[in-house]
Structure formats: C-alpha cells, structure tokens
Structure 1
Amino acid sequence: MPFSRSRTIYSFAAVLALSSVSRGTPTTTTTTITRHVSSIAPRTPSSPLPAADFSVPITASAPRSKAKKSLLRALRESQAAQAGSNFTTVLAGSDFDEEYLTNVKFGEQDFMLIVDTGSSDTWAPQVGYACFNLDNKPVAQSQCAFGSAGFNSSASTTFTVDPGTNFNIEYADGEFLSGTVGFETVTVGGLAVKQQEIGVVDKAAWDGDGFNSGLIGFASPNLTFVFNGTNPDDDDTQIPYNPFFYSAVQQGLVSHPFLSVALDRGSFAAENSSDLDQNLGFISFGGIAPVGVISSTAVTVPIQGYDAATFTPKNGSTGVTYFYYSVDVELMSFTGNHEIFGTTNTDIILDSGTTLDYVPTDVADAFAAAFDPPAVKDDDFGVYTVVCTATVPEFTVTIGGVTFTVDPADNLFPLGIQDDDGNELCASGTFDGGPSTGAEGNVFILGDTFLHNVVATFNIETDEITLTQRAPYTSGSSDVKRRAPSSVRRRSV
C-alpha cells in the first residue's frame, strides 16, 4: 500500500521475535490475538493533570514538489520554539503532515526527528552512511533523502561507543537500518538526558522526506532493537534499554512520569501550497500538553499488556509485558448509528507514527459507504478515495466508557489529483486494517486521524493512559482554517 505506511512497530511477528530474544529480519510468523477486556476499571483522571515541565511545539513549513505530489509528498521544515512551560517541544509536519517532527540534539548537533509513540529507539544516520533500496541494493545517498549529512560521532565530546553491540531494525513498510550503538546527551525542548543509548546508522534503506534525519521513539523498552554482537546478520540476543523519556524519568528530570502528545491537523491551504503551517501540536514531558481541552470528556485507562509466555492480552502485575500504548476500544460508531465494533477484537495501538486509523474491515467499509457520495477503496492508492466536496460522517470512539469525537475534517484530506470529471480527490483518514475476527496477526491502530482530536497523556510508571477530548481549534496559521488531517504514513516496526 504505497500511501499507507507506518514507522511504528505493529507487527506481532516482530514482537514474537523479540520475545524469544531472537531477531533477524522478522518472518511471516503470525499469532492469533484474542480481545482482552481489562479487569482494571477506567477512572476519572486527576483534575487537572499537572502542567508539563517541558513542552516543545510542532511547527513546519511545507514546500510542495510537483514530482512527488502523486506520492502524497510534502516537506516540512521545523522551527523549534518554547511554548508555555519549559519541557514542551513544537512538532513539525512533513509529508503532507503525515509525519510529525521535532528538533533533537545529539550532543551539540541538531537533527529533525520523527516523533513516534509506536516504536522505542532513537537514531540518526552516521556521516558517510551507505544507502540501500528496499531490495538491499546500494543506491545514492540522495535516495534515502535524510534532512542532513548525518551525525558526526567523532566530533562529539559527549558520545561514547557501546562496544560489542549493534542496532538493527526493520519497519513494517520494508525500510531497514543497522549500525553501531552509543551513549550521547540527547536534548529535546530543553530536556537533556545524559548517556542516552542511541542507534548510529551506517546502513539505511529509508524513504525520507528531505527534512527528517531519523526518529525518536517513546514506546516501551521491550520494543528497542539493540543486540549483542557486532554483526547484524548474526543477531540472536536482544538487549533492551530505556528509551529517551524512560531515561528522563529514571534520572529525575521531570516532576511526573507523564508523556503527553497533542497533534494538530494541517490545513488544505498548506497541503496544497508551500504555505507555513504553524503550531502543529506539542510533545510535553512531565505533564499535559498545553492545548485547550474539554476536561469533562476525559478518562484514564490501563495500557494493555501481554502475557510474557503466550502473548495474549493480559493485565496485572505478574507475567505481563508491555510493548505499545494500546487500549481497549469498546465501540466505534458514526452518523447513522452504524455501531460496528464491539468486544471481540484486539487491543488498539495509539500511534503518532501512523497517519490513518486502521480499523476492522467491516467498520472501514461501512464508514466509507456513509460518505455522501460514498468513498471508494482504491487499491492503487491504498486509501478510500472520495471527492473533496463530500459530506463526511462524524466518527466516534468509545474508550473506558467515554466517547471521543473525531472531527469530520480528519477524515477528508487532499490527494493532489483529480478524477476523470475534474473533481479534486481526497482520501478518508480511516482505512481497512483487516478482519476483526478469526484473523491472525491483525493489529489495529488509532493514528493521527484520531490523535488530532485528543490529548494522549501516558503515565509510564502506572502504565496508564489519560485521554482528554480537545477543544475545537483552528489552524496554527491565524488566517487559515484547519480543515484537513495529516496524510497517510504507516511506518511501523
């Protein structure tokens, strides 16, 4: 699916490989996942959640390339900025806002990295890295399209190599990277974590946007991809480590163990031009992101864990392993009372690294049919396409007994192409994630389409997630209404 890519680890084949402390290239092994309803009751969150110690806003410009328009490409250049309290960082949008970027320092070297709640590693390419295509054939560095020449580890006075280890990861869209491992001072929005373990990539198969130079992951240590030995082809022992925010909490750098993400949708104007999209959200450390919310529509629910032996969903303190920020979804519905999704399906991952919502087939098909005129699945594009003037049904998601509303704007965004009648075509932000019952290995995701409408605050000590409905908002650019969501990117590990 060329337009539905994810840099988030959602493949349970990869998870199973990790569980047995063996990994090379993830195989096609699949696992049947049965739905688990937590025995831990949802609760009303602390009121209010504390303000973040550090918040970094997301800001981006979006130059458009006609040559890449058919591939839904749009490049964003981030402008780091302080907003509110110290530990909040601005997120920038690239690839038609399908990726959210923020400025990250390795020592004193600056990089724009993808913000990903669906994977855990932090990495950038090493200066002089070798670029490959997805068939593992060497190509020019320009084809990897990183936003910088890479990290010069030898020029950093704070970098040290972790000997006898290697970084080796493959994402669900076929991208892969390998290299060395080291320790560096990593800084995001004023939050400086010393001796943070990072991957330094010397071999990359990466479909970049010309702005991002890697990725910063915020999921569980169990999804890190560092291995014993120096030859990635011989990897057989995973060595989990603390990702960036886990390290910040361990080092006592934040008042509360809260990671909070508020993603803004882009605008039609910016997605179809080179206009600047300001303030595309925040990532905040130590408290809730500084955006308007509807506090009466909030709930705290447990992160869903998995049995360490069987990898079936499980809660409790014994034999539970955490990978993703996943939750139980009780119901999905939309205009016309099409209540589709009940209690017989898998847990759902909250993932900033995936553009669309990937929902069960019956939900996706029925939702597409409820557009006026109906949206139609386009296998060439890998999305449901519809004329941009279509009336979009309101989509809702019920979690922990609280119903969250997805703005219709988040289910309609421009493809930059026209149909045979000259009508501009858009795509739905909700797509087919596979059958919900009797399926092996299907994993469903609430990506940016959903996350544009809530503030997701993760408590990594209690393994809970607080979701709060966002107040209606307008474009970060004061003169442009925010009408469109991010485009489709699905890079999962």
Structure 2
Amino acid sequence: MLALLLLVCAATALKAPSSLPRQYGNFTLNRLQRTRTKLAEPSELKVTQNVVNLTRADTAVSVSSTYTQNGTTPLISLEGGQVFLANVLVGGQEYSLVIDTGSSDPWLAVTDFSCYDPIDDAPLDQYLCEFGPLYHSTQSSTFVPIADQNFNISYADGEYLTGSLAYESFRMAGIDVPNQQFGVVDQAAWYGDGISSGLVGFAYRTLTSAYAGSDPTSDRKGRTMLYNPLFVNMYENEGVPTVFSMAIDRIQSNGGVLAIGGIPDIPHAPYWANTEIHPVSVNTTSGEPVYEFYTIDVDGFAISTSTSTQFNPYDNDNPYKTPLVGNDTDVIVDSGTSLCYVPDDVAAELADAFDPPATWDASTYAYFVDCDATAPVFGVSIEEKIFFVNAEDIIIQINDNLCVTGIQPNLGGLNILGGTFMKNVLTVFDIGAEQLRFAARQFYPTS
C-alpha cells in the first residue's frame, strides 16, 4: 500500500526504485551510439497558438472540451499530483490518458479486457484494475486491426499489459493523426487511478512494444517491431515542429500544461539551460536491453540548511561558495515518476538537513520526515545553472500524519528527476536538436 501511495505512477516501464527490492540496483545505464552525426539546430521556442489555460477543478472531473484547440492540451492531476492525464480523442471517443515521457506506446484497455493481480497473476474482477471508460472498437469507423502483431509490455513492479495492435484516428491538442498505431490491451495487471483509460508515451520509437505473431509468451525471443509513437507521427506526417514541453503544477486541483510544437504561455524565467540528451539504454547485469530514456548529465545537487548559502556550480576550488554534491550524475527526466531518485549518499545528506532530520525505514526503503519539519534548500544544477525545488515539493504528505521526502535514494540504481523537480521548471524536449531545455518557473505556493 505504501509503495502505491509513494509512486502512484503506473506509467513508466521501469517504476521508481522505492517499490522494488534492493536488486533493483542491478539496472545500469549504458551509453548508446547516436543515430545521427549532424543534429538539427535548436528549435525556436515560440508560444504555441490557441493555448488552453488550466482552471482549478475536481481531479475526478474532466477538463473542458476546449482541449481540441491547437497546440496545447491541459493535464488533470491525480493523487496529489502523482499522475498526469490529458484528454485525447481516439476513434472519435474521448478518453483521459496518462502522459508519460518515460515510455513510447499509445495504448488503451478494451471493454472486455481481463484483469490480473500484478503480485501473483491471479484473475481479478475488471474493476480492480481501476481503469476509466474502456475503449469500444466497435463504435469506431476508423479502427483497423493489424494482423500477426501483438502488444506486450512488462513493468518492474509486476504490472504488465498484453493485447493486439491496430490503427486508429487520434486527436490531441487539436492535432489529428489519422492512422496511429496503438496497443489494444485485452489483458492487464495494473494499478489504475480510476480515471485514465490508457497512456500516451512521448519517448523514442525504440521503446515501442509491438512484436510479431499473436503469442505474447514468445515475444522476448524476438525483436520488437518498431513503429512511430504519436508525437513522432505528429512531426513526421502532420508538420508539427519537433519539440514539446511540459509544465506540471503543484496545485492539486490543476495538473499543468503539455504544449506540442512549442511552449505554453506561462510565466517563466528568461534564461534557459540547454543540455544534450544522451542516448542510453537500461541494462540488467545479464546484458538484456530493457529501456531507453531522456537522459542528461547534471553538474550536481545543491543542499544546505541555510537559504543564504551561495553554491558553486563550476566544480572548482572556491572557498567562498559551497560545492555541489553528486557531481556529473546521469539522470533520467521522466514525468511518469512521482518523486526524484538520486545517489544514496546525496539522499542521505539531504535527509540529515531536515529539521528534525528525516529517518530511514528499512522495511519500505524510504526516508520519512515529520510533516511539520523545515525542509532544507535543494537544487539541481544543469549547465552551471541551479534550479531550486520549492520546499513544498520536498515534503510529500501521504496521509494526515505521514510524510516522506520528495527526494529518495536510488538504492544503487537509476537517477530520476520526476514530478518533485518538474513542478519547478518548464521542461522543453527538443527532439530535433536532441536537447532538453529548462527554465525556472515562478516560485508559486499551493495556496
């Protein structure tokens, strides 16, 4: 139960480490060769036309149908800002789908799907997978099944999805993709949120999960049959610029904004940190390729008990400034992960800086903290610019008397900048130039 409360992210094909045993540390990042020798010039960051502004609303209520305006689509925030959804038309039917930068497939659960327990694979009643409205292929005139292919994706916490593949019309943020390949899920072991019907992944096409044949049990013996994710089709076939951006809100009644082809018209600092996306894969110790992400190098992490501390992001000797910790760390930027996961020694130093200090719980592999504690200063340095995290994001309230830190140890595994960090920045994914760009957002409170 605690792992679900901590993560509630059911979106990323390798879940955040606190739901996993210590052997999660067997996953490592390996650099890959670039597929292109000459990259495109950085995209011009224009404000997308017809921006949809977010309004406060009950998280269980769909946003206005004005999501069909071009360029930007609103996100709904669920479970205290842990999962982010956008309304998408699929075959003319409207669904709320999880938006995830850590996976690639678009998929929906169908009306007659079978639900299973992620822990022991036992059959369950459908409602226990907690999907929202289910996809009706018979109600769509644009549904075209794909023969001799199956959809199959497994998650590190035991969740999995299998089914078939098909083509269908998708409309998102006013952009039409008439023949989008997607996963038609008829078997699911899933921790749902009660609202979302599926997911749209925004990562690279190398992460898609289509396999030859109709038998999912034989898939891992062969290679995936790569196809274009939704955003790839948008820029390859629909003339959309090769850039999208996300601004996640900490206000629970809001979710944030996803802008396709540009940036949203929201307040942000005028200065950008531009950093290279490193092509990487996640491998187990067996050498089996598992996953690929938007990965960047960060200079290090800023930690202090004093708001007057001056930090040194340049990694040189400067007796007048406090050095960063965890220098030159590879991190994954992933909207589908709720918290941040950093090297164990960085998380321990941050835990000690709370007043009173956070305490480690060995049974749940997590740092707990007094809900009324004073949070330390915490920031992430990218290209020698430090992005500070609001103290309200560093203490995560699970219930009335139980709080965890928003920065947790990776237990020797992957470093992830998730929602805790992304609530404080406007993040631009410039696919053409293979860059991520960050601008600080206004330091807004929750009230």
1:93 aligns with 2:77: yes
Match of 1:332 among 301, 313, 321: 301
Equivalent residue runs for 1:356-435 within 5 Å: 356-380=339-363, 382-418=365-401, 425-435=402-412
1:303 aligns with 2:277: yes
1:45: how far off?
A: 7.2
1:28: how far off?
A: 8.4
Equivalent residue runs for 1:94-493 within 5 Å: 94-134=78-118, 135-148=120-133, 150-235=134-219, 236-254=222-240, 256-267=241-252, 277=253, 279-296=254-271, 298-306=272-280, 323-336=292-305, 337=322, 339-343=324-328, 345=329, 347-380=330-363, 382-418=365-401, 425-435=402-412, 442-475=413-446, 481=447
SS of match in other structure, 1:369: helix
Q: TM-score, normalised by structure 2?
A: 0.84
Q: TM-score, normalised by structure 1?
A: 0.76
The 1:323–1:453 alpha-carbon spacing in structure 2 relative to 1, beyond 3 Å, is: same
Contact 2:162 2:188 in 1 (8 A): yes
Contact 1:259 1:283 in 2 (8 A): yes
**2: CA distance between counterparts of 1:323 and 1:54?**
33
1:290: how far off?
A: 2.2
SS of match in other structure, 1:449: helix
Deviations 1:97-139 (A, max 9, x none): 2101111111111111111001111111111111111122111
The 1:353–1:58 alpha-carbon spacing in structure 2 relative to 1, beyond 3 Å, is: farther
Runs of 5+ unmatched residues, structure 2: 17-22, 286-290, 306-321
Q: Where do 4+ consecutive residues of structure 1 move more than 6 Å?
A: 307-311
Contact 1:87 1:189 in 2 (8 A): yes
**1: CA distance between counterparts of 2:68 and 2:304?**
37
The Cα RMSD (Å) is 3.1
**2: CA distance between counterparts of 1:427 and 1:471?**
24
1:473: how far off?
A: 2.7
Contact 2:67 2:173 in 1 (8 A): no
1:394: how far off?
A: 1.8
1:54: how far off?
A: 6.3
**2: CA distance between counterparts of 1:141 and 1:445?**
32
1:156: how far off?
A: 0.6
Contact 1:124 1:199 in 2 (8 A): yes
| 2:20 corresponding residue in structure 1 | none
Contact 2:67 2:174 in 1 (8 A): no
**1: CA distance between counterparts of 2:281 and 2:4?**
34
The 1:168–1:55 alpha-carbon spacing in structure 2 relative to 1, beyond 3 Å, is: farther
The 1:307–1:353 alpha-carbon spacing in structure 2 relative to 1, beyond 3 Å, is: closer
1:399: how far off?
A: 1.0
Contact 1:133 1:139 in 2 (8 A): yes
Deviations 1:348-386 (A, max 9, x none): 111100000011101111101101111112345553222
**2: CA distance between counterparts of 1:325 and 1:384?**
26
The 1:167–1:354 alpha-carbon spacing in structure 2 relative to 1, beyond 3 Å, is: same
SS of match in other structure, 1:161: strand
The 1:139–1:61 alpha-carbon spacing in structure 2 relative to 1, beyond 3 Å, is: farther
The 1:35–1:242 alpha-carbon spacing in structure 2 relative to 1, beyond 3 Å, is: closer
Deviations 1:225-262 (A, max 9, x none): 111111101112201111111110011342x2111000
Contact 1:89 1:102 in 2 (8 A): yes
Contact 1:412 1:429 in 2 (8 A): yes
Contact 1:55 1:285 in 2 (8 A): no
Q: Which amino acid aligns with 2:217?
A: D
User: % of aligned pairs identical?
Assistant: 34
